Amino acid sequence: MEAQKQLLLDISDLKVHFNIAQKSAWPWTKPLTLKAVDGVGVRLYEGETLGVVGESGCGKSTFARAVIGLVEATDGKVLWLGQDLTVLDHKAMREKRKDIQMIFQDPLASLNPRMTVGEIIAEPLKAYFPNMSAEDVKAQVREMMTKVGLLPNVINRYPHEFSGGQCQRIGIARALILKPKLIICDEPVSALDVSIQAQVVNLLKSLQKEMGLSLIFIAHDLSVVKHISDRVLVMYLGNAVEMGEAEALFEEPKHPYTKALMSAVPIPDPDLERNKHIELLEGDLPSPMNPPSGCVFRTRCPIATEACAATKPQLRGDDVHAVSCLMA
């Protein structure tokens, strides 16, 4: 099925490293290297949703920001319709952002409190189409507000007059006003109530079907990811540890880290929930400035061997299911 779809995004060996200065009296002390993303590769097809999961600090948001160019990639390639985004200058990258937009985690903090809803949603249109008439801009803004479930008569209100869910709808409208091909959703429902989360996720799914969007959906809640994703990428300490079709990955996870994440997903059946086995991870998350040798997960892995310390595993498999584990 995927062979018939257009390949939009082809990411290979993406790395984002930061130099962190050490607290030292000696000015010649070398900075430490924080490996936020360390060699992640993934492909995204037209109309597909890629879920990205992992615990806090695993590099999900940095990965997303590197794709759109908000964070500079240290190495690797981000091919958008065959063109490498990592080598583009500011002007060329600005043009590409018409097709790649982002929805941020905090709905209120991502909106300018001094601008009305209409001005916020219209801002991308004014930036990319400065010659568009005010009437056309207002008409498109009203149309988009209706699509995301906002009444057009609130166009002159300010963000503080709306709830969190409504503010996120404003953010979605702003991201969609240019009719992009890809939306990167950086934990768009984590700050919302559970009932509102479902509304926003269902809204994104309906808009995806209506507008032919592709999504990169970052989240902690695996039940949400399972509901919206076609394929899932599991990250740990900046590395891709497992990736594949959502159904295959949720039914039969192969990496020990993925198994631990899946075991923590609540089951709506009280009897099954009470009797299920939860695989608890021991130890603390290692520092990305001093990751373990070999497999980055080996210090918390229940099946790690001496070989895991000597060899860094690579993703093995295909688009249906791939895993980065020597023992899988």
Could you state, in chain order, the average pLDDT of each consecutive group of 10 residues for the chain (328 residues)? 77 94 76 92 94 91 94 95 93 92 90 95 95 96 96 95 93 96 92 86 94 94 88 95 92 91 74 69 84 92 90 87 89
Class of domain 2-21+32-99+180-323: alpha beta
Bridge partners, 75 (sequence order): 15
Return the pLDDT at 328. 76
* Pairing mode, strands 316-317 and 239-245: unpaired
Return the pLDDT at 241. 95
Asked whether the beta carbons of 18 and 73 are under 8 A apart, the reply is no
Between the alpha carbon of residue 283 and those of residues 74, 102, 280, 286, 301, the distances in Å are: 30, 34, 10, 9, 9
Return the pLDDT at 52. 96
**Burial annotation 98-135 (CB, 10 A radius, 16+ → b, else e):** eebbbbbbbbbebbeeeebbbbbbbbbbeeeeeeeeee
Q: Which two tokens stand for residue 226?
A: 């399972």
Between the alpha carbon of residue 299 and those of residues 239, 286, 305, 313, the distances in Å are: 15, 8, 10, 14
What does the alpha-carbon distance between residue 125 and residue 130 come to, in Å, rounded to a whole number? 7
Return the pLDDT at 2. 46
Return the pLDDT at 226. 87
What letter would DSSP give residue 291?
P
| Rg from Cα positions in the chain | 21
What does the alpha-carbon distance between residue 199 and residue 196 come to, in Å, rounded to a whole number? 5
CB-based contacts of 8: which residues, under 8 Å, 6+ apart?
A: 44, 45, 46, 80, 81, 181, 182, 214
CA 132 to chain centre: 32
Angle between helices 194-211 and 164-176 (to 10 degrees): 20
Other CB atoms within a 10 A radius of the CB of residue 278 amount to: 8
What does the alpha-carbon distance between residue 279 and residue 182 come to, in Å, rounded to a whole number? 35
Return the pLDDT at 273. 60
